[in-house]
Each structure stands twice: as C-alpha cells, then as structure tokens.
C-alpha cells in the first residue's frame, strides 16, 4: 500500500526542525531512520500530514563517552554504528550484546537507537537495554532541553511523553560506579525478527559483589518492563547460584507475557528466567563452573 499524501520537509538546523514541528501541530512527525515510521505509513496505521526529516540536521550522528564515563548517543546514530563500535565493546557489554540483534543489516544501516526509544514498541530492544542501564533521553523543545529517564519516557505501547513540538536530540547512559558486566539475550523465531522475549541485564561490580543492577524485559508485556525487584535482589550480593536463581525467579514474575503465535505465556516466562540465569552466570566473576552449572540446570 502507498502512504497517504504528506508534505515533506528536510530542515538543515535543529531550530528549523523545531519550528516546523511546532507549526505542524498534531499532524507532524519526525523522521529519523524511517524503519518504523515508513512501514506504519505504508500500512496507513500512521498518516501524518507533515514529515520533518531530521537527517540533514548537523551534529546528531554520534556516540561518544565523556571522561567520567557518561555515554551520549545522538539522534542520528544508527544501529550499525553501535554494532561496530569499539567503545561499546570495551565499555558497555549490555549494549554491545544487543546491537547485532536488532533487526537485520538493512534496518540497522538506517534505524537509530533514539528512534527506537521514541517508537516505544514493547518489542524494541533498545528500550530494555537503556532502561536496565538507567538511561535517559534529552528532549529539546521551544522552552529548552529536559532529561527524561527512559523508565518514565515510555507510557505504553507506541506512546511516549514527548510534547508535539519536542525532538529527542540524544540518549544518555550514566557512568558506572564499578566494573560493568551483564548482557542482552533475545529469542527470535528467525534472524532479524522482533523478540519473542528478551532480557537486558546491566551490572556494576565491585570485586565479587554487585554494587548496582538493572534488569529489563523485552516483548513480555504491554511495554518494556523494568524488573526492579530482581535487580534489588542482586545488590550487595556475590553472584552465587542461589542469588542468581532468586533474581531469575523475580524477573520471570515481573514478566506479563501473552500467549500468541510466538509462544505461550508460560514459555515466554520460562525464557525470561533462563536468560537471566545465563547472563548472570556468564557475568559472575567468582562463580565456579559447578556453581554456575547448578544455576543453569535449575532454570
Ligand atoms: C523488518 C524490520 C525488523 C525490525 N526488527 C527490529 C528488532 O528486532 N528490534 C528492534 O528493536 N527494532 C526492530 N525494528 C525497528 C527498527 O529498530 C527501527 O529502526 C526503530 O524502531 C526506529 O528507529 P528509526 O530511526 O528508524 O525511527 P523512525 O522510523 O524514523 O521513527 C520512529 C518513531 O519515532 C519518532 N522519532 C524518531 N526519531 C525521533 C526523535 N529524534 N525525536 C522525536 N521523535 C522521533 C518518529 O516520529 C516515529 O514516530 C525493525 C524494523 C523493521 C523494518
């Protein structure tokens, strides 16, 4: 199907883009990678009258780290840039694990992390990853910039708290207090598919102890789920099989899956539990092979 008729603007500055959005009101939409918006328009699930393409706005295609370890991901930083990033490989294990699992190479070449957060698909992988890491988005509007934690940004499936005249200019991941560990696992029916279930775990380790922990779940609820109690159960603990099991049980209990063509609710909950065990077992600096194997068997 073809999209409905729309006006297309490609501003060359952020100010111009914001003005166009403000004047466009309810019927204006930002276009970044277009990998979610364009399919929706072709299906006529979205029929904006004005498209504000931000691809010509300078200085949005970056990811970089401050000296204190804060990571910034600009609104035009593509999934592929993050997939190839040595910086992520060295400093952000959860993000580095997720980047190659987003869609397929074609989508990764155009789609953006920030666009994925704005799209707020419950099956979007970056929302759970950035939520587990305690990330925020920086929104710019006529009144200036504001930081919104990812946990507060998404209000439901395909819904976020952005005002009509705001653009997200970047996502920010705060620095770790300890050594970063963790990962992202995703079950997909075939390579490139959306998640049947996904689990993001972001740990900060101080020696053998967990100093901070964030867990978030993809595709097992009406929106991305923060498994807060599972994270709390890890803090101050060494990653023994008993601790890992408790966190996995709490994460599975936090999931709100529905049975569908991808699997039954019970199966998806089981996958969440198994993935938590796998990620934490791999992250455990002190877990001996026998201890780790026990946890894996119990999952
Ligand atoms: C075949 C296919 C498979 C896919 N598989 C996966 C997958 O496995 N996992 C996954 O996570 N995603 C998947 N996606 C989605 C993909 O990751 C998209 O790239 C992403 O969801 C949206 O990013 P985008 O830059 O393309 O945004 P766009 O499509 O340009 O925009 C999406 C929405 O966000 C808004 N928006 C975008 N940028 C901004 C901004 N800076 N400020 C304000 N609003 C903004 C737009 O107005 C629109 O409403 C898939 C897509 C396709 C087509």
Give the per-residue pLDDT at 296.
55
Q: Is residue 140 part of a domain?
A: yes
| Cα 79 to ligand 1 centre (Å) | 10
Q: Give how far Cα 150 sits from Cα of 70, 92, 134, 234, 252, Å.
A: 15, 17, 7, 21, 21
Q: Are 132 and 101 in contact (CB under 8 A)?
A: no
Are 194 and 278 part of one and the same domain? yes
Are 67 and 164 part of one and the same domain? yes
User: Whole-angstrom Cα distance, residue 131 to residue 213?
Assistant: 11
34 Cβ below 6 A of ligand 1? yes
User: Whole-angstrom Cα distance, residue 132 to residue 63?
Assistant: 19
124 Cβ below 6 A of ligand 1? yes
User: Whole-angstrom Cα distance, residue 186 to residue 188?
Assistant: 6
Are 45 and 109 part of one and the same domain? no
pLDDT at 293 over 90: no
What is the mean pLDDT of the segment spanning 157-177?
Answer: 95
Q: Is residue 13 part of a domain?
A: yes
- The pLDDT tens digits of the residues spanning 97-125 come to 999 999 999 999 999 999 999 999 999 99
Strands 167-173 and 7-9: unpaired
107 Cβ below 6 A of ligand 1? yes
| Cα 201 to ligand 1 centre (Å) | 22
Residue 86: give the domain boundaries.
63-173
Q: Is residue 276 part of a domain?
A: yes
Nearest protein Cα to ligand 1, atom 12:
124
| Length of the chain measured in residues | 299
DSSP 84: T
Are 158 and 188 part of one and the same domain? no
Q: In the beta sheet, which residues pair with residue 141?
A: 144
Tokens of 257: 């899956």
Are 30 and 107 part of one and the same domain? no
Q: Is residue 129 part of a domain?
A: yes
Q: Is residue 215 part of a domain?
A: yes
Q: Is residue 57 part of a domain?
A: no
User: Whole-angstrom Cα distance, residue 277 to residue 124?
Assistant: 22
What is the mean pLDDT of the segment spanning 27-53?
Answer: 95
Q: Is residue 116 part of a domain?
A: yes
Are 69 and 100 part of one and the same domain? yes
pLDDT at 297 over 60: no
Query: How much is the pTM?
Result: 0.94
Are 184 and 267 part of one and the same domain? yes
Q: Are 153 and 160 in contact (CB under 8 A)?
A: yes
| Cα 126 to ligand 1 centre (Å) | 10
Are 118 and 209 part of one and the same domain? no
Q: What's the CATH number where 269 sits? A: 3.30.390.50
Give the per-residue pLDDT at 286.
56
Residue 152 CB neighbours (<10 A):
11
Q: Are 135 and 149 in contact (CB under 8 A)?
A: yes
Q: For residue 139, which atom of ligand 1 is closest to its CA?
A: 42
119 Cβ below 6 A of ligand 1? yes
- The pLDDT tens digits of the residues spanning 54-105 come to 999 999 999 999 999 999 999 999 999 999 999 999 999 999 999 999 999 9
Detail the DSSP E strand segments found in the chain: 7-9, 28-31, 50-53, 63-65, 71-74, 136-141, 144-149, 154-156, 159-160, 167-173, 179-187, 197-206, 209-218, 225-226
- The pLDDT tens digits of the residues spanning 218-236 come to 999 999 999 999 999 999 9
User: Whole-angstrom Cα distance, residue 67 to residue 160?
Assistant: 31
Are 83 and 151 part of one and the same domain? yes
Tokens of 250: 């709490």
Q: How many domains does the chain have?
A: 3
Are 107 and 186 part of one and the same domain? no
- Among candidate residues 120, 152, 173, the one where a domain is terminated: 173
Model confidence at 171, pLDDT cuts 50, 70, 90, reads: very high
At 94 the three-state DSSP class reads helix
CA angle 231, 282, 134 (to 5 degrees): 35
| Cα 233 to ligand 1 centre (Å) | 33
Are 221 and 265 part of one and the same domain? yes
122 Cβ below 6 A of ligand 1? no
- The pLDDT tens digits of the residues spanning 254-267 come to 999 999 988 999 99
Q: What's the CATH number where 136 sits? A: 3.30.465.10
Supply the mean pLDDT for the chain.
94
Are 68 and 149 part of one and the same domain? yes
Q: Is residue 295 part of a domain?
A: no
């Amino acid at each position: 199907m073809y999209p409905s008729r729309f006006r297309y603007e490609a501003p060359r500055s952020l100010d111009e883009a914001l003005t166009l959005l403000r004047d466009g009101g309810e019927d204006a939409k930002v276009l970044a990678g277009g990998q979610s918006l364009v399919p929706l328009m072709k299906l006529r699930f979205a029929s904006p009258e004005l498209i504000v393409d931000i691809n010509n706005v300078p200085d949005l295609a970056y990811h970089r780290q401050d000296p204190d370890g804060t990571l910034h991901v600009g609104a035009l930083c593509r999934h592929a840039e993050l997939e190839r990033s040595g910086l992520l490989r060295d400093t952000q294990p959860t993000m580095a694990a997720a980047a190659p699992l987003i869609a397929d190479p074609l989508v990764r070449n155009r789609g953006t992390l920030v666009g994925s957060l704005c799209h707020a698909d419950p099956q979007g992988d970056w929302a759970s990853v950035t939520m587990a890491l305690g990330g925020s988005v920086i929104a710019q509007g006529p009144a200036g910039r504001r930081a919104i934690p990812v946990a507060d940004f998404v209000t439901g499936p395909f819904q976020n708290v952005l005002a009509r005249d705001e653009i997200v200019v970047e996502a920010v991941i705060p620095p770790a207090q300890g050594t970063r560990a963790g990962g992202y696992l995703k079950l997909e029916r075939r390579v490139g598919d959306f998640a049947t279930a996904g689990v993001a775990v972001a740990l900060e380790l101080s020696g053998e102890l967990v100093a901070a922990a964030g867990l978030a779940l993809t595709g097992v609820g009406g929106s991305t789920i923060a498994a807060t109690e599972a994270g709390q159960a890890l803090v101050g603990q060494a990653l023994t099989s008993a601790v890992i099991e408790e966190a996995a049980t709490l994460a599975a209990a936090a999931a709100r899956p529905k049975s569908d063509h991808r699997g039954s609710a019970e199966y998806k909950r089981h996958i969440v539990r198994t993935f938590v065990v796998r990620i934490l077992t791999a992250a455990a600096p002190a877990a001996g092979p026998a201890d780790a194997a026990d946890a894996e068997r119990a999952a």
